[in-house]
Chain A
Amino acid sequence: MGLRDTIFGRTKQAAPNLDNLFALTQAAITLQAELDMVTSGQAGLCFKAGSGEGTLTTDADIKELLDFDATNDKVTLTKDDLGFEWLIVHDPDLESLVTRIHAADTSMVEHGLGPRLLCAVFGFVPKTPPGEGDLRLVYLMKQGTFYPFAPTGPTQRNNELELRVRSFLSTDLPMEKDLSRWMALWNVPVN
């Protein structure tokens, strides 16, 4: 924030950074080689709906805005316990999951809703269960960075696995360096 903004007490809304999203497909190969993990076939886009966004009043409106067929049952919408909207995409292929999340992001930005985007979450599961347990890779929209999230219970996470994932993927992905930003997403609706 500049000096003028400080003096006048203003904050600029943060714009999302979508550039690094596609790096995920390369990282998925590493993830499978190192940890035997594959996509769970689900990805989610998390955003906060504001007032006055008349285009977002119904679920069908949102799907249409995000260039999805309103009747497409592979896309679902839910609201989490903190009031954030989740757009969940189902697709067995990781590359098309990434493409669809990116398309949804882009159309949010085109409609001036970029500041409302929080993160995108991609689910990963062990190819041969039980393996390492479930893992999510979270893409922080404003920061343009990834971090791993491995919940093992209602409010427990496997930090050891998360740190291992970071070391495996740090060459493929821009990983979030500030660990305090590795926010916990309990009850994340993406499996």
Chain B
Amino acid sequence: MATSSKIETDHKLNVRMFFTGLALVALYAIIVSVMISLGVSLVLVIVIAGALLFSQYYFSDKIAMFSMHAHEVTPEQEPKLHQIVDRLCLLADMPKPRVGVSEMDIPNAFATGLNPNAAVICATRGLMQRLPDEELEAVLAHELSHVAHRDVAIMTIASGVGILAGLISRIALFGAAFGGGGRGGGRNGGQNIVLLELATVVLSIVIYVIAYLLTMALSRYRELAADRSGAILIGKPSVLASALVHVTGDMGRIPRNDLRKTEGMNAFFFAPALAGNTVASLFSTHPSLEVRLNQLAQLEKQLNG
């Protein structure tokens, strides 16, 4: 099986993904130390962040389906879509996720759900109408790879850092205001505390920005990884490449207000992955079309070589 083992791993991608993950973990450590410096709010921060993450984790599929106007479909309603998913899941030997259709006209697809057993894979009506069967299959293979890689869970955990940082900066802000008003007695001491807490706020905001950028970077690597696994599953990287070109080409022709609507929905979620591991690389959660096409072209060369 020389051909298959050769293409299964891309070490550069692995290394980059590892360091992005490492940087996120390091950020957790910094955040914990900031929380300790704040003292009292520690328990509160953990409880609030935990509750937010928990609900996001458990309702992710419903939220994503709802916001995309998607509904689950039976094999009788969408025989072809089900048949394609059936075959891909059997080829990859993975459990079949639930299948949904979004009545949106924008050609797109997304996968959501906590783990491969509770996943939903969803295509928009626009995607099914615009793409030939083979390219639809390629897009679904990409989304199934997100399911297999547990990307929703991973991106939720990664974005948890951003939530934590945001909460800390807010709590620190309240702390600074409260501490400044309450300690009028020792003038110098009060000022020092205010300065200290202002510094904490600034630090938190910096952390938030860095965490956000890292989450975006991680999301882009996960997209590339899903492209890769999806292309290997269907055996034809060039078909996925052509589907990407079709989807992004069509995206460009759609009126702006439609796009803005989708964008707003994307911002509604904490984790970009929850809004759907979309195929189109319009948002910064996705690598540029050029990068994705390059990877697929390289894969195609490896397969032929």
Contact = CB atoms under 8 A, between A and B. Distances in A.
Contact of A52 (B82, B234, B300): B300
B304 A155 contact: no
Contact of A82 (B75, B137, B236): B137
Given A11-B233, A143-B93, A181-B96, A50 B303 contact: yes
Contacts of B238: 51
Q: Is the interface of B mostly helix, strand, loop or mixed?
A: helix
Contact of B226 (A9, A13, A48): A9
Nearest to B149: A9
B79 interface: yes
Contact of B229 (A11, A48, A140, A155): A11
B92 interface: yes
Given A52-B304, A186-B79, A6 B235 contact: no
Contact of B87 (A13, A118, A143, A178): A118
Interface string A1-45: 100011111111111000000000000000000000000000000
B91 A14 contact: yes
**A5, A14, A52, A112 — most chain B CB neighbours (10 Å):** A52
A103 interface: no
Given A8-B225, A51-B304, A184 B79 contact: yes
Interface in A58-87: 81-84
Interface in B186-236: 221-222, 225-226, 229, 232-236
Nearest to B6: A112
A51 B302 CA distance: 10
Given A8-B17, A14-B92, A180-B96, A51 B87 contact: no
Interface string A79-123: 001111000000000000000000000000000101110110000
A191 B9 CA distance: 41
Contact of A114 (B1, B137, B232, B233): B1
Contacts of B76: 155
Contacts of A52: 3, 300, 302-305
A11 B143 CA distance: 13
Interface residues of A, number: 39
Contacts of A14: 91-93
B151 A9 contact: yes
A8 B16 CA distance: 10
Given A13-B4, A51-B238, A143-B93, A83 B134 contact: yes
Contacts of B221: 9
Nearest to B87: A118
Top 5 nearest A-B pairs by Cβ distance? A50-B235, A9-B225, A52-B303, A14-B93, A183-B86
Interface of A: 1, 5-15, 48-54, 81-84, 112, 114-116, 118-119, 140, 142-143, 155, 178, 180-181, 183-184, 186
Interface of B: 1-4, 8-9, 13-14, 17-18, 21, 75-76, 79-80, 82-84, 86-87, 89-93, 95-96, 133-134, 137, 145, 148-151, 154, 221-222, 225-226, 229, 232-238, 300, 302-305
